[in-house]
């Protein structure tokens, strides 16, 4: 049917549970080589396929205010204005500290915690504190083992949607990044860079000031500090 023709890939490749934030997270999926529908769990290989899917599958009673670029609509004009920025790229909310810009005021407010160091969300299991609620939800899965984002092509589960998006590319035939020193292949350049550092160069750019252990990324260092040196322990 038309719904099947709209998809860029064979089969129904799902992201997992849809959330209220899926529409906002579409650009992140695009950066990984996939386009996510904000109405359901489907991924597409191009924006044209995504738009065709929305028009054929999600045709329904419209809100009073319509997006000028796609079928999205809402009874709230501010919601449509915020949504249209996903098409125009407009980012009117600018951080006064570092100059980074955001499409929504709420995103800027969360970003400011990077500078303030505020970590209002605490894990009930281990006590680790995190800046964002989404980070806490992902962290909690390290305790529960939950993998809610499942690839419908092969059944493999993932703790994060962004990781599933990269995985889906392996089924779509998207370009896979290669290590220039060995046969390792990664879904994106970042994973290959981490591999080169961890396996070949051993030159870790982020070092723990307490014990000297090296890490590939700043988030790994922060997690280490929270686990091993929460009280300033230098062991």
Any idea what the CATH number is for the domain that residue 70 is in?
3.30.160.60
Query: Which pLDDT belongs to residue 174?
Result: 59
Query: Which pLDDT belongs to residue 233?
Result: 60
Residue of 131 and 49 predicted with greater confidence: 131
Whether 217 is covered by a domain: the verdict is: no
Q: Are residues 109 and 128 in the same domain?
A: no
Q: Is the confidence at residue 139, as pLDDT, over 50?
A: yes
| High-pLDDT (> 90) share of the chain, % | 3
Residue of 85 and 188 predicted with greater confidence: 85
Residue 95 and residue 115: Cα distance in Å, rounded? Answer: 10
With beta carbons less than 8 A apart as the criterion, state whether 131 and 119 touch: yes
- The average pLDDT across 118-133 equals 88
Q: Are residues 134 and 196 in the same domain?
A: yes
Query: Which pLDDT belongs to residue 59?
Result: 57
Residue 175 pLDDT level (bands cut at 50, 70, 90): low
Structural domain boundaries, residue 144: 121-200
Q: Are residues 99 and 166 in the same domain?
A: no
- The average pLDDT across 17-45 equals 54
Q: Are residues 133 and 85 in the same domain?
A: no
Single out the residue of 121, 114, 146 nearest to residue 136, CA to CA.
121
Q: Is the confidence at residue 8, as pLDDT, over 70?
A: no
- The average pLDDT across 174-203 equals 78
Number of domains in the chain: 2
- The average pLDDT across 3-30 equals 41
Whether 29 is covered by a domain: the verdict is: no
Q: What is the DSSP string of 180-234?
A: SSSS-EESSHHHHHHHIIIIII---SEE-TTT--EESSHHHHHHHHHHH-TT---
Q: What's the mean per-residue pLDDT of the chain?
A: 76
Q: Are residues 137 and 166 in the same domain?
A: yes
Residue 94 pLDDT level (bands cut at 50, 70, 90): very high
Residue 78 and residue 16: Cα distance in Å, rounded? Answer: 28
Final residue before a domain boundary, out of 116, 149, 180: 116
Residue 57 pLDDT level (bands cut at 50, 70, 90): low
Q: Are residues 135 and 175 in the same domain?
A: yes
Residue of 53 and 30 predicted with greater confidence: 53
- The average pLDDT across 213-219 equals 82
Whether 45 is covered by a domain: the verdict is: no
Helices 22-31 and 161-172 cross at an angle (nearest 10°) of 50
Residue of 185 and 209 predicted with greater confidence: 209
What does the block give as tokens for 161?
């949607």
CA 136 to chain centre: 14
- The average pLDDT across 207-216 equals 84
Task: List the alpha helices (DSSP H) in the chain.
Answer: 2-6, 22-31, 47-57, 77-88, 105-116, 133-144, 161-172, 189-195, 218-228
Q: Is the confidence at residue 80, as pLDDT, over 80?
A: yes
């Amino acid at each position: 049917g038309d719904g099947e023709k709209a998809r860029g890939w064979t089969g129904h490749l799902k992201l997992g549970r849809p959330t209220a934030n899926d529409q906002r997270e579409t650009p992140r999926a695009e950066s990984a080589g996939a386009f996510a529908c904000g109405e359901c769990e489907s991924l597409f290989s191009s924006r044209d396929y995504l738009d065709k899917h929305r028009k054929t599958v999600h045709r329904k009673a419209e809100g009073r205010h319509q997006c000028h670029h796609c079928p999205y609509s809402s009874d709230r004009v501010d919601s449509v204005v915020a949504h249209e920025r996903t098409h125009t790229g407009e980012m009117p909310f600018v951080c006064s500290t570092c100059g980074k810009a955001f499409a929504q005021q709420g995103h800027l407010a969360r970003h400011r915690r990077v500078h303030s160091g505020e970590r209002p969300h605490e894990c009930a299991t281990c006590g680790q504190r995190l800046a964002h609620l989404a980070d806490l939800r992902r962290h909690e899965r390290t305790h529960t083992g939950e993998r809610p984002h499942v690839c419908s092509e092969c059944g493999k589960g993932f703790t994060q949607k962004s990781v599933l998006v990269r995985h889906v590319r392996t089924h779509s035939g998207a370009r896979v990044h290669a290590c220039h020193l060995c046969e390792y292949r990664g879904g994106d350049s970042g994973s290959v860079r981490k591999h080169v550092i961890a396996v070949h160069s051993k030159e870790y750019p982020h070092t723990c000031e307490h014990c000297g252990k090296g890490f590939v990324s700043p988030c790994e260092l922060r997690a280490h500090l929270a686990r091993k040196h929460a009280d300033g322990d230098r062991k």
